[in-house]
Structure 1
Amino acid sequence: MPEPPRGGGRTKLVAVVAATAVVVTAAVTGFLVLGGSKDDEADDGKDGRTTGPSPTATSPASPASTDNPRSGETEKPTVAGWKVVVNPKYGTAFEVPADWEVQRPGVFAFFEDKAKGDGSAFIGFSGASFLKPDYCTSEDGGYKETHALAGSGTKGESGAKDTASIARGDSATFAFGGFTDQSEAAKKYLRIGKAKSFTTASGLTGSVATSYVTGVPKKHTCDTDGKAVTFAFKNSSGSFVSWTLYGAKGVKDELSDATVDKILATVRLHGDPTVE
């Protein structure tokens, strides 16, 4: 089992590949009562998934190659030079720039629950991809951890009632959980965005919201403010699904809003989902 989180504004991202678990550090964690669902939890016993090992005994997950490991031979990007990230589980796809690292098929990335402190999942996504996974390295508390500049993926929203509440809830959850210590007092740093109707380039309709965490205490080397954008929609089976992109805010290499919007525009349906 993973060791409990060690305080600070960030926590480890655990990526589970079938029966193999590896720990990747990143700037996000958490599930709040603000919204979202736990449809994608690592402890649900599906797909042979296991909890992650101790962070001192693992290394970061690496992409399969510079080519997109999720993309089929016939899957072509709509943006020249970008990579297509397919999530067969939910029948979705989106694209990321060439410098993003797309994880192997079967990877489920979830974020640790600091309140429980037992390495269990709060919220997560599959169809995962990351920008500069080693963007910041810290050795706070005697442990070496790396933090990604940004990450993105999709998740199911079982039990959700509408796309607007998903967009607000998930964006707030990723921002708050990833860039604060998840304490009650830290809620004062959270700015929850309003949900707006949105249509992607493929004609997929839903709701989008952007939430921020600003002014958080920078107690540890890699602590930063953060942002998260969530687009919620229905897949071809009529099930609610969400796409989220989170990233560090206010840093020199911050992912621009223009690039976030360009990635968001590529979100689309892809084939028939393997789960309802």
Structure 2
Amino acid sequence: MRWGEPSSASGNRAKAVAVAAVATVAAGVGVIGSALVGDGDNAAAPAPTSPGPTTSASTGPHVGTAERPVIPGWKVVVNPASGSAFDVPPEWDVKPPGMTYGFTDDRVDAENPANWGRFIVLATGFASLREDWCLPDIDANGRVVGTELAGAGTASAKRAEDTGDAALKGAVAWVYGAYTQPDRKSIVRDRTAKPYTTTSGVKGSIAWARSRNAPRKNACSSDGKAVTFGFRNSAGDLVAWCLYGATGVRDELPDSTIMKTLGTVRLHGKPEKR
């Protein structure tokens, strides 16, 4: 599936899909978990004006001229809504800051426009690694559904109790949505979040979740992992940054790279009110 196209609700492991651009909603895939909510909250996304393609996914870093990467040569990902930013390695694809990405429940009929906004966890300020890393067979609707190797983004976590709660529930939600649904038994998670401070001095909590022997649905199915960093932005609002990726595959993103990426999370200006 290309960015912005409705996906089949056939239960295939699918890539994270853009939910809202300036005028378009993309249906696709979603996650569970009520503690984390995208910047559009857990309500339906804006109604689409058409089911056609959204903004091109081939755009480069979408940052202000004053924002520079913490790590030389890396790209900056900015989330104006949450007032945060982070860096990703140069091979990652940075999405437009106003786009929202997430996973829908496989049990929801994504072909029905009424379900297009029913995302449970969403993230803006998003970047993906090798979004066509795996291309399974064409689905029942004649579309090729691609799978990214990894993805990262930031979301509001205002329903969480604190930074630790945001980290714990967020990590589980992304692993469930991206790799295991509808199975929950294969998820192994941290029971307590750990204190963490980024290189810029942002304090918060981190937690990991991983899947083991999750049910395989197609050639692109794999186990996965996710780390979530819960923190507060300059307005004092709870925010959750998450990075998820496939595990047990030849090109698995190393934990060391994930932690290096996490270390770049920082505050970015005054959060925008939406």
Question: TM-score, normalization: structure 2?
Answer: 0.86
Residue in structure 1 matched with residue 72 of structure 2 by the alignment: 80
Residue in structure 1 matched with residue 188 of structure 2 by the alignment: 191
Higher strand share: 1
Asked whether 1:14 is paired with 2:17, we answer yes
Residue in structure 2 matched with residue 108 of structure 1 by the alignment: 100
Asked whether 1:158 is paired with 2:158, we answer yes
RMSD: 2.4
Following TM superposition, where does structure 1 have runs of at least 4 consecutive aligned residues deviating by more than 3 angstroms?
1-4, 37-45, 49-54, 57-61, 140-143
Q: Distance in 2 between matches of 1:3 and 1:271?
A: 35
Deviation at 1:61, TM superposition (A): 4.3
Residue by residue over 1:239-266, the C-alpha shift from the partner in whole angstroms, topping out at 9 and shown as x without a partner, is: 0001000100111001110100000000
Other structure's SS at 1:130 match: strand
Q: Distance in 1 between matches of 2:147 and 2:42?
A: 21
Q: Distance in 1 between matches of 2:135 and 2:49?
A: 20
Q: Which runs of 5+ in 2 are unaligned?
A: 110-114
Question: TM-score, normalization: structure 1?
Answer: 0.86
**Which of residues 265, 268, 273 in structure 2 aligns to 1:267?**
265
Asked whether 1:62 is paired with 2:49, we answer no
Q: Name whichever of 14-23 and 256-265 sits farther off.
A: 14-23
Deviation at 1:11, TM superposition (A): 3.4
Aligned length: 260
Q: Cα distance 1:154–1:81, how it changes in 2: closer, same or farther (>3 A)?
A: same
- The letter for the 1-side match of 2:272 is T
**Which of residues 42, 45, 63 in structure 2 aligns to 1:71?**
63
Other structure's SS at 1:17 match: coil
Q: Distance in 1 between matches of 2:80 and 2:263?
A: 19
- Contact 1:22–1:53 (CA under 8 A) maintained in structure 2: no
> Identity of paired residues, percent?
36
Other structure's SS at 1:129 match: strand
- Contact 2:21–2:55 (CA under 8 A) maintained in structure 1: no
Residue by residue over 1:189-220, the C-alpha shift from the partner in whole angstroms, topping out at 9 and shown as x without a partner, is: 00112310000001100000010011012230
Residue by residue over 1:88-146, the C-alpha shift from the partner in whole angstroms, topping out at 9 and shown as x without a partner, is: 11110000000000012311112112233334212110001000011000125333111
Q: Which runs of 5+ in 1 are unaligned?
A: none
**Which of residues 86, 109, 112 in structure 2 aligns to 1:94?**
86
Residue in structure 2 matched with residue 29 of structure 1 by the alignment: 30
**Which of residues 191, 215, 218 in structure 2 aligns to 1:217?**
215
Other structure's SS at 1:177 match: helix
Deviation at 1:20, TM superposition (A): 2.4
- The letter for the 2-side match of 1:64 is T
- Contact 1:14–1:52 (CA under 8 A) maintained in structure 2: no
